[in-house]
Amino acid sequence: MIVRTIIEEDTQLYSSFPTMTIFNDALCIFYRQGINDKYNPHGFSGKVKSIKIPLGYLKEFFDNNITLKIEEKVVFDSENELDAIVSKIDDRLYTLASRLFIKNKINQPFISVSDTCEFKDRVPVRIKNINLAAFYGKAFKSKHGYIFPAYGAIHNENFTRPLLIVSDDFKHFDLLSYLHSNLDLMLNESSIVKLNDSYIAFSRKDIYSSYAIFYSTSKDLTNWSDPQKLLDFALAPMATIANDTIYVSFRDVDNTNKISIFNVKTKEKKVIDTYSGSLFDGGYTDLANINNHLYVIYYTNNKAPFIKMARLDAF
């Protein structure tokens, strides 16, 4: 395994929530960068930023540890951006989920669409009788339309649950289905993959002192099985498939704060990195299968959160 720094540590900045996708022959990385602020979680004055790394340059960066020369672009800049989740629907269709968040004032998720992985405009997402908290997980195409994993609360419920938001035109959004959740098994962030003819959703159980990742399955995206536990001491799952095997990267809180990856078939876990400080100031990940290697991008904390990437072989 090789680990490299993508966004350098800066004690004034809070660099976090990276996601990535391939466009043509380049790796496109999106992330949120704010200013460290002890009064706001994840800092404040957040911007959505992006960088692009040619795949050949990425290989040399990992093989030879050359200096990474990148140009950061500001994608969205409001009073405080919080999320930046990029998804590749197909070779000519990409989406970016973002969110304007000001504590006790506003929480507005957005969806942007592009055919070049360059995002300029975005549409606010509002759904009747749904208190939409945030998007989480990669979007994908289905027979129902374009699916966006999310989480929030349904009208008259006082707990969060994973939601599947659907759209045909990226302008109008509806609730397609939701996963089981309750006050004793409160789920939120979910990552969905399809293997053979089944969809598998990996969801975060968000109850303090009993953090875990659960999974549910569905054949049609509308009817979901009861959640089953996959991992204890785990948060923020992100899943991908390589060689017909599902891998889940996650924030690992077993004894110490870690970033880990899990082979769902063999149940083998590999620790990618450890970090100090608050467990909430690190651990969100994204992963991809690129040229027969697994790449995991994540943010981690030392004095201030910053962004790193690991490359490892499938296991």
Average pLDDT over the chain, rounded to an integer = 96
Q: In this structure, what token pair is assigned to residue 269?
A: 């876990």
**pLDDT for the residue 68:** 87
List the one residue out of 175, 184, 225 whose CA is nearest residue 201: 225
Q: Give per-residue pLDDT as tens, 264-300.
A: 999 999 999 999 988 889 999 999 999 999 999 999 9
- DSSP summary character for residue 60: H
Give the position of tokens 């391939």.
22
Phi-psi region of 64 (alpha: psi -120 to 50; beta: other; left: phi over 0): alpha
Q: In this structure, what token pair is assigned to residue 210?
A: 């009993």
Mean of pLDDT values over 228-238: 97
- Cβ burial 232-257 (10 Å sphere, 16+ → b, else e): ebbbbbbbbebeeebbbbbbbbeeeb
Q: What is the dihedral of CA 160, 164, 166, 171, to 10 degrees?
A: 30
pTM higher than 0.75 for the full model? Answer: yes
Sign of CA dihedral 265, 220, 227, 298: positive
DSSP alpha helix (H) spans, 75-187: none
**pLDDT for the residue 209:** 77
Q: Using CA atoms, how far apart are residues 126 and 108, in angstroms rounded to an integer?
A: 8
**pLDDT for the residue 67:** 87
Cβ count near 29 (within 10 Å)? 24
Phi-psi region of 12 (alpha: psi -120 to 50; beta: other; left: phi over 0): alpha
Q: In this structure, what token pair is assigned to residue 151?
A: 């989480």
Q: Are 150 and 134 in contact (CB under 8 A)?
A: yes
**pLDDT for the residue 71:** 87
**pLDDT for the residue 231:** 97
Mean of pLDDT values over 113-133: 97
Flag whether pLDDT at 13 surpasses 80.
yes
Give the position of tokens 């690190």.
282
Q: What percentage of the chain carries pLDDT values higher than 90?
A: 90
Name the residue with higher pLDDT: 40 or 269.
269
Whole-angstrom Cα Rg for the chain: 18
Name the residue with higher pLDDT: 238 or 278.
238
Q: Give per-residue pLDDT as tens, 72-99.
A: 999 999 999 999 999 999 999 999 999 9
Flag whether pLDDT at 174 surpasses 90.
yes
Mean of pLDDT values over 184-212: 94
| Chain centre distance of CA 276 | 21
Cβ count near 12 (within 10 Å)? 8
Q: Using CA atoms, how far apart are residues 144 and 138, in angstroms rounded to an integer?
A: 16
Domains along the sequence of the chain with CATH:
2-312 (2.120.10.10)
List the one residue out of 94, 121, 75, 73 whose CA is nearest residue 21: 94
